[in-house]
């Protein structure tokens, strides 16, 4: 085995195994909290969905790639390829939308206690389950066309709509590809804009809070909501960094019409970095908010 393949194997293994373990730990802790606590905490539900989506995203992306590195290629066929790609796309999308939901909820949580924000927080708390369910249905509908034209491949000879490193989805037509890319890109772009707006508002609130704390005896003391807000901003920053790097690789591949194995592997690594590293931000700051009510 070449040194480059060994290096890739180490990276894929680290992302898939350790990323999945940390996300699983967060998911189990939050599930235990939901079962133990009689009161409903929207943050626990949101973080649970984020961790579970990250687990499925890492496994559907990393395990098949590791099996390909170990030259185990007979396990995949057209149906398996379609299912794995579909699971990866909707779980990655759910990870993004859940992060957006977490950002918006945190913005509402730390907002001033005016009648508007109080009613908005109560509405989000009451309907958070429905919001997450609707987002899941939208994601499943948007990415359903991905499972239709799936095809197993052993080479990288042509430009395709999506390549996972072990199978690819060749576009049925230029129109089909354009529509799919536009819809998915616009949705992701709008989500990023909403997250940036929410984070910007959070920063303004935190700055105001910091100025107010200077008049107290313990200026370094920060509320649990403020700590949670900072963690959410760091989650957004982490996502945007790897999102932009992934977009840069995609544009490079489209312009140069190059679909090398190395470029595909780089995109796989970048697209999995958020799911792998986000648990450390969540666990480090122990994201908590006061119980709604």
Q: What is the number of alpha carbons within 13 Å of residue 113 lying toward its C-beta?
A: 2
265: domain CATH number? 1.20.1070.10
* Angstrom distances, CA of residue 102 to CA of 17, 113, 290: 25, 19, 14
What whole-number distance in Å separates Cα of residue 192 and Cα of residue 103?
A: 11
Report pLDDT digits (tens) over 79-118: 777 788 888 889 988 998 999 998 888 888 888 777 788 8
Question: 232 lies in a domain?
Answer: yes
Q: What band does 219 get if pLDDT is binned at 50, 70 and 90?
A: very low
Global pTM?
Answer: 0.81
pLDDT class for 61, splitting at 50, 70, 90? confident
For the cut 50, the answer to whether the pLDDT of residue 156 exceeds it is: no
> What's the count of helices (H) and strands (E) in the chain, helices before strands?
8, 3
Query: For residue 220, which phi and psi values (nearest 5 degrees)?
Result: -85, -10
Rg (CA), the chain: 21
Statement: residue 260 has pLDDT above 50: yes
- Asked whether the beta carbons of 160 and 85 are under 8 A apart, the reply is no
Q: Is residue 292 part of a domain?
A: no
Paired strand residues for 151:
168
Band the pLDDT of 132: cuts 50, 70, 90.
Answer: very high
Treating both helix axes as pointing N-terminal to C-terminal, what angle do 115-142 and 174-213 enclose, rounded to 10 degrees? 160
Q: How many domains does the chain have?
A: 1
Are the C-beta atoms of residues 143 and 93 closer than 8 Å to each other? Answer: yes
Q: Is the pLDDT of residue 143 over 50?
A: yes
Question: Is-contact 101 191, C-beta < 8 A?
Answer: no
- Asked whether residue 227 is domain-assigned, the answer is yes
Quick one: tokens of 263?
Answer: 């470029």
Lowest mean pLDDT among 29-43, 75-89, 277-291: 277-291
Most confident segment among 10-24, 71-85, 177-191, 244-258: 10-24
The predicted pLDDT at position 256 comes to: 66
Looking at the predicted structure, is the pLDDT value of residue 223 above 80? Answer: no
pLDDT band at 72 (very low <50, low <70, confident <90, very high): low
Torsions phi, psi for 169 (to 5 deg): -115, 95
Torsion sign over Cα 184, 186, 191, 192: positive
Asked if the structure places residue 195 within a domain, the reply is yes
Residue ranges making up the domain that contains 276: 3-285
How many whole angstroms separate alpha carbon 157 and alpha carbon 194?
38
CB under 8 Å to 281, separation ≥6 — which residues?
Answer: 231, 234, 235, 238
Q: Which of 13-22, 107-116, 173-182 has the lowest mean pLDDT?
A: 173-182
293 in any annotated domain: no
Q: What is the mean pLDDT of residues 72-83?
A: 68
Is position 197 within any domain? yes
Query: CA angle, 105 as apex, 103 and 108 as ends, to 5°?
Result: 110
> Does 27 map to a domain?
yes
Whether 139 has a pLDDT exceeding 80, the answer reads yes
Q: If you average pLDDT over residues 70-85, what whole number do you get? A: 69
């Amino acid at each position: 085995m070449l040194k480059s393949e060994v290096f890739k194997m180490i990276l894929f293994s680290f992302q898939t195994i350790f990323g999945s373990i940390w996300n699983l730990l967060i998911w189990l802790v939050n599930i235990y909290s939901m079962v133990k606590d009689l009161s409903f905490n929207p943050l626990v539900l949101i973080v649970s969905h984020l961790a579970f989506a990250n687990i499925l995203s890492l496994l559907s992306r990393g395990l098949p790639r590791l099996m390909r590195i170990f030259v185990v290629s007979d396990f995949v066929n057209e149906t398996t390829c379609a299912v794995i790609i579909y699971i990866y796309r909707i779980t990655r999308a759910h990870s993004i939308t859940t992060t957006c939901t977490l950002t918006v909820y945190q913005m509402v949580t730390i907002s001033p206690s005016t009648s508007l924000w109080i009613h908005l927080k109560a509405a989000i708390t009451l309907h958070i389950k429905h919001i997450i369910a609707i987002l899941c249905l939208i994601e499943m509908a948007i990415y359903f066309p991905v499972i239709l034209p799936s095809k197993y491949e052993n080479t990288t000879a042509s430009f395709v709509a999506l390549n996972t490193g072990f199978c690819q989805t060749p576009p049925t037509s230029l129109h089909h590809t354009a529509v799919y890319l536009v819809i998915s890109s616009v949705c992701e772009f709008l989500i990023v804009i909403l997250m940036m707006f929410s984070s910007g508002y959070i920063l303004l609130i935190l700055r105001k809070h910091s100025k107010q704390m200077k008049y107290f005896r313990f200026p370094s003391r920060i509320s649990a909501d403020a700590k949670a807000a900072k963690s959410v901003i760091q989650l957004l920053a982490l996502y945007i960094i790897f999102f932009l790097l992934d977009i840069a690789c995609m544009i490079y591949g489209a312009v140069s019409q190059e679909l090398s194995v190395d470029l595909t592997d780089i995109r796989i690594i970048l697209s999995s970095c958020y799911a792998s590293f986000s648990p450390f931000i969540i666990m480090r700051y122990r994201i908590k908010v006061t119980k709604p009510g």
